Structure 1
Amino acid sequence: MKDNLAIIALESFQEQGIKINSTLCKWRESENYLIPCKCPRFSSGEAKGMISESVRDKDLYIMVDVCNNSLRYKMDGEMNRMSPDDHYQDLKRIIVACNGNAARITVVMPFMYEGRQHRKVTRESLDCAIMLKELEFLGVNRVVTFDAHDPRIANVVPLIGLENVSPALQFTQGFLTEYEDIQIDKDHLMFIAPDEGATERVVFLASVYGVNIGMFYKRRDYSNIVDGTNPIIAHDFCGGDLNGMDAIVVDDMIASGGSIIDVCKQIKSRGARRVFIFSTFGLFSSGFEKLDKAYEEGLFDRIFTTNLVYQKKELLEKEYYCSINMNRYIAAIIDNLNKNESMQALVKPEKRIKEMIASYLKQ
Structure 2
Amino acid sequence: MAAITEPKLISGNANLTLAKSIARRMSMHRGMSVNLVDARVERFNDQEIFVEVYENVRGEDMYIIQPTSNPANDNLMELLIIADALRRSSADRITAVIPYFGYARQDRRAKARTPISAKLVANLITEAGIDRVLTLDLHAAQIQGFFDIPVDNLYASPIFALDIEHHFKGAKDDLMIVSPDVGGVARARELAKRIVAPLAIVDKRREKAGEISEMTVIGNVAGKKCIMVDDMCDTAGTLSKAAEVLMESGATEVHAYTTHGVMSGSAVERITNSVMKSVVITDSIEPTEAVKSCPKIRIVPTAPIFAQAILNIWNGTSVSSLFETNTLVPIYEGMYQNR
TM (normalized to structure 1)?
A: 0.85
Which residue does 1:92 correspond to in 2?
Answer: 80
Q: RMSD of the TM alignment (CA)? A: 2.2
Q: Distance in 2 between matches of 1:32 and 1:215?
A: 44
Q: CA deviation at 1:251?
A: 0.3
**Residue of 181, 190, 203 corresponding to 1:204:** 190
Which residue does 1:238 correspond to in 2?
Answer: 218
Instruction: Structure 2 unaligned segments of length 5 or more: list them.
Output: none
Aligned: 1:340 with 2:316: yes
Q: Distance in 1 between matches of 2:206 and 2:155?
A: 28
Which residue does 1:303 correspond to in 2?
Answer: 279
Which residue does 1:164 correspond to in 2?
Answer: 153
Which residue does 2:251 correspond to in 1?
Answer: 272
Q: Match of 2:234, as an amino acid? A: A
Q: Distance in 1 between matches of 2:103 and 2:278?
A: 28
* Per-residue deviation, residues 136-173 of structure 1 (Å, max 9, x unmatched): 1222121111111101111112x311111111222223
Instruction: Structure 1 unaligned segments of length 5 or more: list them.
Output: 70-82
Aligned: 1:150 with 2:152: no
Aligned: 1:349 with 2:324: yes
Q: Distance in 2 between matches of 1:205 and 1:211?
A: 8
Q: CA deviation at 1:95?
A: 0.6
Q: Distance in 2 between matches of 1:40 and 1:353?
A: 36
* Equivalent pair of 1:208/1:354 in contact (CA under 8 Å): no
Q: Match of 1:5, as an amino acid? A: P
Q: Percent identity?
A: 22
Q: CA deviation at 1:175?
A: 2.8
Q: Structure 1's 354 and 242: CA in aligned 2 closer, same or farther, altered over 3 A?
A: farther
Q: CA deviation at 1:354?
A: 10
Q: CA deviation at 1:350?
A: 4.6
**Quick check: 45-54 or 86-95, which moved more?**
45-54
* Equivalent pair of 2:84/2:129 in contact (CA under 8 Å): no
Q: CA deviation at 1:92?
A: 0.7
Q: Structure 1's 191 and 128: CA in aligned 2 closer, same or farther, altered over 3 A?
A: same
* Per-residue deviation, residues 45-71 of structure 1 (Å, max 9, x unmatched): 22222211122111111011222x5xx
Which residue does 2:203 correspond to in 1?
Answer: 217
Q: CA deviation at 1:236?
A: 2.4
Q: Distance in 1 between matches of 2:107 and 2:210?
A: 15
Q: Structure 1's 169 and 118: CA in aligned 2 closer, same or farther, altered over 3 A?
A: same
Which residue does 1:259 correspond to in 2?
Answer: 238
Instruction: Summarize the alignment of residues 1-363 of structure 1 with structure 2, pairs less than 5 Å apart.
Output: 2-67=4-69, 69=70, 83-100=71-88, 101-122=90-111, 123-157=113-147, 159-184=148-173, 188-221=174-207, 224=208, 229=209, 231-239=211-219, 241-287=220-266, 288-294=268-274, 299-346=275-322, 348-352=323-327
Q: Match of 1:331, as an amino acid? A: A
Q: Structure 1's 279 and 39: CA in aligned 2 closer, same or farther, altered over 3 A?
A: same
* Per-residue deviation, residues 159-216 of structure 1 (Å, max 9, x unmatched): 31111111122222333333333224xxx22111111221111111112222221112
Q: CA deviation at 1:117?
A: 1.0
User: SS of 1:345's equivalent?
Assistant: helix
Q: Distance in 2 between matches of 1:107 and 1:47?
A: 18
* Equivalent pair of 2:312/2:318 in contact (CA under 8 Å): yes
Q: Distance in 1 between matches of 2:218 and 2:102?
A: 31
User: SS of 1:322's equivalent?
Assistant: strand
* Equivalent pair of 2:18/2:303 in contact (CA under 8 Å): yes
**Aligned pairs, number:** 329
Q: Distance in 2 between matches of 1:196 and 1:144?
A: 27
Q: Structure 1's 312 and 92: CA in aligned 2 closer, same or farther, altered over 3 A?
A: same
* Per-residue deviation, residues 335-357 of structure 1 (Å, max 9, x unmatched): 111101011121x225458999x
Q: Distance in 2 between matches of 1:194 and 1:293?
A: 18
Q: CA deviation at 1:261?
A: 0.7
Q: Distance in 2 between matches of 1:142 and 1:99?
A: 13
Q: Distance in 1 between matches of 2:127 and 2:51?
A: 18
Q: Distance in 1 between matches of 2:10 and 2:229?
A: 31
User: SS of 1:181's equivalent?
Assistant: coil
Q: Match of 1:193, as an amino acid? A: S
* Equivalent pair of 2:17/2:286 in contact (CA under 8 Å): no
TM (normalized to structure 2)?
A: 0.90
Q: Structure 1's 252 and 25: CA in aligned 2 closer, same or farther, altered over 3 A?
A: same
Q: Distance in 2 between matches of 1:190 and 1:267?
A: 11
